């Protein structure tokens, strides 16, 4: 199908974009890469009065090394971050997680922050941001605020972003000596994951397990040494998982039970 | 700031296969429909219209993207390339196209333009890909004739990974 008619605005600056958001609030939708939003509009699941196209705003097209974090602006497409020469050294989790995001063709247009703002519970980028304990930078005409990933994504496709706020960047923490692994199970590579698992092992030995597709938001657990199985079983008991047309809750639990130890072992064994 | 109201016609200009073109349309017009209906470039096919099948894949500034998930106005001022750009002016197929013909990599041909545009981008970045990399990029396309074996054979020939020596004249694009 085709989208319903809408007003279109392509601001040149963040200031212009947030002024539009202040005026239209929830009647507006922000368009960056459009790899989820345009599909929803074509299917008429989304019907904004105005579309605010931020893809050409220069101030948000940066990948910036801030020392302890890497800041990725809201206009940065996924394949650009994937091709960033320092990615493997600075953000090894993103280096292994990004190839799972959609397809080569959708990563050519989909943005890093767009995926975070869309907040699909099985998405790889929000899961990576949560596992690393990253942050989301929000701007409005009222000012700026920075939320932790766990504060930003509150439920399935739901975030703490107010109607007049624009996601301007995401900040991914750099952890010295971090090793990482990422795997997911989907019906077909590039489809929505039934369950996605991220694992990181920091230089100090802290092991973190990030789980997508089992709840409305990514779930992150620290794992005490050699205790992967207990942590997974405990998490399964807490979360239960949910049922949709892709998988039953039982299948999700089963995938997690089998996948998590593999991913954690892979992160532990890979070279820093 | 560029701004277009929903009941307003808008003139969108872009470069299509090296030629500057423009046409009147609406803000809500998808790039695939703009190419086909407004510009008459019907080589780009429209399948699922929600980014899954890959038939409508074109290049914008060299990057292979879904033209059904792109508004025409988003491509304003950009360099758009479609399947019509691949063959030479005399109609001679380029190396990738010729490999598709040699290996019967198309049956109905509906998905072919999108696949060719994806691999034109991907192979320019990665001329010597592995089998897995080729499959990963192909996973962004659906061939409902299920002719994937032929498509993979064509891709292997196009990248010189099929173990055969080919007539050099065929290799020239």
Which CATH number goes with the domain that contains A43?
3.30.43.10
How many separate domains does chain A show?
3
Determine the pLDDT at residue A205.
85
Q: Number of A:B CB contacts under 8 A?
A: 111
| Average confidence score pLDDT of chain B | 94
- Kindly state whether residues A224 and A251 are assigned to the same domain: yes
Q: List the strands of the sheet with A50-53, edge to edge.
A: A28-31, A50-53, A7-10, B2-4
| Average confidence score pLDDT of chain A | 95
Query: Has residue A206 been placed in a domain?
Result: yes
CA angle B35, B29, B14 (to 5 degrees): 45
For A116-124, what is the mean pLDDT? 96
- B19-68: per-residue pLDDT in tens? 999 999 999 999 999 999 999 999 999 999 999 999 999 999 999 999 99
For A123-139, what is the mean pLDDT? 98
Residue B170 has pLDDT above 70, yes or no: no
- Kindly state whether residues A156 and A229 are assigned to the same domain: no
Q: How far apart are CA B67 and CA B34, in angstroms?
A: 9
- Kindly state whether residues A187 and A161 are assigned to the same domain: no
Residue B173 binned pLDDT confidence (cut-offs 50, 70, 90):
very low
- Kindly state whether residues A183 and A167 are assigned to the same domain: no
A82 CB within 8 Å of a chain B CB: no
Query: Has residue A39 been placed in a domain?
Result: yes
- Kindly state whether residues A68 and A22 are assigned to the same domain: no
Residue A225 has pLDDT above 80, yes or no: no
For chain A, percent helix, then strand, then coil, each to nearest 5?
35, 25, 40
> A24 vs A18, A60, A157, A162, B72, CA distance in Å?
10, 21, 20, 12, 23
Residue A177 binned pLDDT confidence (cut-offs 50, 70, 90):
confident
Residue B165 binned pLDDT confidence (cut-offs 50, 70, 90):
low
Domains of chain B, each with CATH number or no CATH:
10-84 (3.10.20.30), 95-171 (1.10.150.120)
Residue A206 in 3-state DSSP?
coil
Residue B167 has pLDDT above 90, yes or no: no
Contacts 24+ apart (CB under 8 A), B84-88: B84/B17, B84/B41, B84/B43, B85/B17, B85/B18, B86/B116, B86/B120
> B63 vs A82, A99, A109, CA distance in Å?
14, 16, 8
Q: Which residue of A has its CA nearest to B50?
A: A39
H or E, element range at A155: strand A153-155
- Partners of B65 on chain A (C-beta within 8 Å) are 105-106, 108-109
Q: Are A257 and A236 in contact (CB under 8 A)?
A: yes
- Partners of B30 on chain A (C-beta within 8 Å) are 2-3, 38, 42
Tokens of A54: 């931020």
CATH of the domain at A246: 3.30.390.50
Q: Point out the residue among A2, A8, A103 whose CB comes nearest to the CB of B139.
A: A103
Determine the pLDDT at residue A227.
83
Three-state secondary structure of chain B:
CEEECCCCCEEEEEEECCEEEEEEECCCCEHHHHHHHHCCCCCCCCCCCCCCCCCCEEEECCEEEEHHHCEHHHHCCCEEECHHHCCCCCCCCCHHHHHHHHCCCCCCCCCHHHHHHHHHHHHHHCCCCCHHHHHHHHCCCCCCCCCHHHHHHHHHHHCCCCCCCCCHHHHCC
For B111-127, what is the mean pLDDT? 97
For A97-119, what is the mean pLDDT? 97
- A23-57: per-residue pLDDT in tens? 999 999 999 999 999 999 999 999 999 999 999 99
What's the pTM value of the predicted model, to 2 decimals?
0.94
Q: How many residues make up chain B in this entry?
A: 173
Determine the pLDDT at residue B171.
46
Q: How far apart are CA B27 and CA B4, in angstroms?
A: 7
Q: How far apart are CA A55 and CA A61, in angstroms?
A: 8
* Extended strands (E) in A54-148: 63-65, 69-73, 135-140, 143-148
> A150 vs A89, A116, A147, CA distance in Å?
25, 12, 8
- Kindly state whether residues A141 and A193 are assigned to the same domain: no
Determine the pLDDT at residue B172.
45
Q: Point out the residue among A9, A53, A108 whose CB comes nearest to the CB of B64.
A: A108
Query: Has residue A75 been placed in a domain?
Result: yes
Residue A262 binned pLDDT confidence (cut-offs 50, 70, 90):
very high
φ/ψ (deg, to 5) at A228: -60, -50
Residue A224 binned pLDDT confidence (cut-offs 50, 70, 90):
confident
Quote the domain boundaries for residue A21. 7-53
Query: Has residue A214 been placed in a domain?
Result: yes
Residue A16 in 3-state DSSP?
helix
Residue A234 has pLDDT above 60, yes or no: yes
- Kindly state whether residues A70 and A166 are assigned to the same domain: yes
For A259-266, what is the mean pLDDT? 96
CATH of the domain at A166: 3.30.465.10
Q: Are A154 and A83 in contact (CB under 8 A)?
A: no
Query: Has residue A1 been placed in a domain?
Result: no
The answer, yes or no, to whether ipTM is higher than 0.85 is yes
Q: Are B118 and A103 in contact (CB under 8 A)?
A: no
Contact at CB, A109 and B69, closer than 8 angstroms: yes
Residue B166 binned pLDDT confidence (cut-offs 50, 70, 90):
low
Q: Point out the residue among B50, B71, B140 whose CB comes nearest to the CB of A39.
A: B50
Contacts of B92 (CB under 8 A, 6+ apart): none
């Amino acid at each position: 199908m085709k989208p319903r008619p809408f007003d279109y605005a392509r601001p040149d600056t963040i200031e212009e974009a947030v002024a539009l958001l202040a005026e239209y609030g929830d009647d507006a939708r922000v368009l960056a890469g459009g790899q989820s939003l345009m599909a929803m509009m074509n299917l008429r699941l989304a019907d904004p009065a105005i579309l605010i196209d931020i893809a050409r705003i220069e101030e948000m097209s940066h990948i910036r090394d801030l020392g302890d974090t890497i800041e990725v602006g809201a206009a940065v497409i996924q394949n650009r971050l994937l091709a960033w020469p320092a990615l493997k050294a600075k953000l090894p989790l993103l280096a292994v997680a990004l190839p799972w995001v959609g397809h080569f063709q959708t990563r050519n247009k989909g943005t890093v922050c767009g995926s975070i703002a869309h907040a699909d519970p099985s998405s790889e980028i929000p899961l990576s941001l949560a596992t690393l304990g990253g942050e989301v930078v929000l701007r409005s005409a009222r000012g700026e605020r920075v939320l932790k990933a766990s504060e930003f994504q509150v439920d399935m496709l739901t975030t703490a972003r107010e109607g007049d706020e624009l996601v301007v960047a995401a900040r991914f923490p750099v952890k010295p000596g971090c090793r990482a692994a990422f795997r997911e199970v989907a019906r077909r590579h590039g489809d929505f994951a039934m369950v996605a698992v991220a694992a990181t092992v920091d230089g100090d030995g802290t092991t973190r397990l990030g789980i997508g597709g089992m709840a409305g938001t990514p779930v992150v657990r620290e794992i005490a040494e050699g205790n992967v199985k207990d942590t997974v079983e405990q998490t399964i008991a807490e979360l239960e998982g949910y049922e949709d047309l892709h998988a039953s809750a039982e299948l999700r639990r089963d995938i997690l039970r089998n996948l998590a130890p593999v991913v954690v072992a892979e992160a532990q064994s890979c070279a820093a | 700031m560029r701004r277009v109201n929903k009941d307003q016609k808008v003139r969108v200009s872009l470069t299509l296969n090296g030629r500057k073109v423009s046409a009147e349309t609406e803000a809500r017009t998808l790039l695939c429909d703009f190419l086909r209906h407004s510009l008459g470039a019907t080589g780009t096919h429209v399948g699922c219209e929600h980014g899954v099948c890959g038939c409508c894949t074109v290049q914008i500034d060299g990057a292979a993207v879904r033209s059904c998930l792109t508004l025409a106005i988003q491509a304003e001022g950009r360099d758009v390339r479609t399947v019509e750009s691949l063959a030479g002016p005399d109609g001679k197929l380029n190396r990738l196209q010729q490999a598709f013909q040699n290996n019967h990599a198309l049956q109905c041909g509906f998905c072919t333009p999108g696949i060719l545009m994806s691999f034109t981008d991907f192979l320019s970045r990665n001329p010597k890909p592995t089998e897995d990399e080729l499959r990963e990029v192909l996973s962004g396309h659906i061939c409902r004739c299920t002719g994937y074996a032929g498509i993979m054979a064509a891709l292997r020939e196009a990248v010189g990974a099929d173990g055969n020596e080919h007539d050099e004249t065929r290799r020239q694009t």
